[in-house]
Amino acid sequence: MKRNSNRVETSSFADGERQVAEGRELLTEERAQTLFTTEAFIFKAWFPSITPSLTVLHVEHMRGRHAERDVADATPATGEIRVVERLLRMGRDNFLGVIRHELGHLCDEQIEEPEAEMRADLIALFVTLKPIRYDRIELQTVGDGEWPRPRDLHR
Ligand SMILES: [Zn+2]
């Protein structure tokens, strides 16, 4: 198995294994921005008023709560989505799950109403036709995990 700048060489893998390897692809900041731009374009097609941008912060936790899953937030007024650099090392599946969820928040015209977290996931499902799942640390992922959002997480 060879590595180039940002992905594992998977040409000899069967398709299932290739998906796993790509899902765990570790992201450079440049690669993360490229993936984000593509996702933002798709969400904007349905919600043209959003103005998404991605900021990668070099801190361990977003809110200082020191929870492993505390990796991102979104500000609908400005369109800024912030993620901690640690998320990029968790791999592509978690990165895409998290940013699709946060893009869902940007598109939510009732963001202050109850059940905003579930709505963010449903908007992402509507736009991408893929569910946002929750992995073993209850972080969003487009890979394996639980759907819908676990009830013990904030709503
Ligand atoms: Zn959320």
- C-alpha 23 – ligand 1 centre gap (Å): 21
Task: Report yes or no on 68 lying in a domain.
Answer: yes
Task: Report yes or no on 17 lying in a domain.
Answer: no
CA Rg value for the chain? 15
Cβ–Cβ < 8 Å for 143, 133: yes
How high is the pLDDT of residue 24?
Answer: 79
Task: Report yes or no on 155 lying in a domain.
Answer: no
Task: Report yes or no on 120 lying in a domain.
Answer: yes
Number of structural domains (the chain) is: 1
Task: Report yes or no on 45 lying in a domain.
Answer: yes
- C-alpha 133 – ligand 1 centre gap (Å): 13
- C-alpha 31 – ligand 1 centre gap (Å): 23
> What is the separation of C-alpha 121 from the centre of its chain, rounded to a whole number of angstroms?
11
- C-alpha 15 – ligand 1 centre gap (Å): 32
The reply to whether omega before 148 is within 30° of 0 (cis) is yes
Task: Report yes or no on 18 lying in a domain.
Answer: no
- C-alpha 7 – ligand 1 centre gap (Å): 28
Q: Beta-carbon neighbour count of residue 108 at 10 Å?
A: 20
How high is the pLDDT of residue 28?
Answer: 95
Task: Report yes or no on 12 lying in a domain.
Answer: no
CA dist., res. 74 & res. 110, Å (int): 14
- C-alpha 99 – ligand 1 centre gap (Å): 10
- C-alpha 48 – ligand 1 centre gap (Å): 20
CATH of the domain at 118: 3.30.2010.10
- C-alpha 32 – ligand 1 centre gap (Å): 19
Prediction pTM value: 0.85
How high is the pLDDT of residue 10?
Answer: 46
Q: Which domain holds residue 80?
A: 27-141
Task: Report yes or no on 15 lying in a domain.
Answer: no
How high is the pLDDT of residue 15?
Answer: 57
Residue ranges in the chain modelled with pLDDT below 70:
1-21, 65-66
- C-alpha 85 – ligand 1 centre gap (Å): 18
